[in-house]
């Protein structure tokens, strides 16, 4: 009687293990599908924005003269260059701030690592609220 119960208990445990493995497999599949969906949604949004821009360019060519389009293109290229320079400047400033923070140590951990750790904690708290 006890041997039969032990065998049945072992089969139940095996079934539970198999079910947990199956659950983990499906949970991973769901996570993969969610990630793929997010990527596709991002690509879709990009394509929608690019389509809007293409329609605006088409309208400019159709309704405006070449001079208007040329001026708009020059403005956009200038703004792009200005933003790239600003981005480069901000990256350099951020790198200097990181180097500065690395100089200070609190409880055996430099200030930059402490800062990154606290940012990670804030992101963990915010990520459920964002979704």
Return d(Cα 52, Cα 59) in angstroms, integer. 10
- Angle between helical axes of 66-102 and 111-130 (0-180°, round to 10): 130
Question: According to the model, what pLDDT value does residue 131 have?
Answer: 58
Domain ranges in the chain?
A: 1-63
Q: What percent of the chain has pLDDT over 70?
A: 96
pLDDT of residue 122: 85
The upper half-sphere exposure of residue 109, i.e. CA atoms within 13 Å in the direction of its Cβ, equals 9
Q: Enter the DSSP assignment of 109.
A: E
| Confidence label for 96 from pLDDT (cuts 50, 70 and 90) | very high
- Its pTM stands at 0.44
Q: What is the pLDDT of residue 94?
A: 92
What is residue 53's predicted lDDT score, i.e. its pLDDT? 86
Residues 6+ apart with CB under 8 A from 122: none
pLDDT-derived band at 48, boundaries 50, 70, 90? very high
Q: Please give the mean pLDDT across all residues of the chain.
A: 87
HSE-up of residue 91 (Cα within 13 Å, Cβ side): 6
Residue 103 DSSP one-character state: T
pLDDT at 108: 84
The pLDDT of residue 105: 82
The C-alpha angle with vertex 62 and arms to 59 and 65, in degrees rounded to 5, equals: 110
């Amino acid at each position: 009687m006890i041997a039969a119960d032990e065998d049945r208990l072992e089969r139940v445990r095996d079934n539970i293990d198999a079910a947990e493995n199956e659950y983990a497999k499906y949970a991973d599949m769901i996570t993969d599908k969610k990630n793929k969906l997010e990527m596709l949604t991002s690509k879709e949004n990009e394509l929608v924005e690019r389509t809007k821009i293409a329609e605006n360019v088409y309208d400019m060519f159709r309704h405006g003269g070449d001079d208007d389009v040329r001026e708009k293109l020059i403005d956009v290229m200038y703004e792009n260059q200005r933003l790239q320079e600003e981005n480069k400047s901000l990256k350099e400033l951020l790198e200097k701030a990181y180097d500065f923070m690395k100089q200070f140590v609190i409880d055996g951990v430099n200030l930059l690592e402490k800062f990154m750790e606290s940012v990670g904690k804030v992101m963990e708290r915010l990520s459920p609220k964002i979704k």
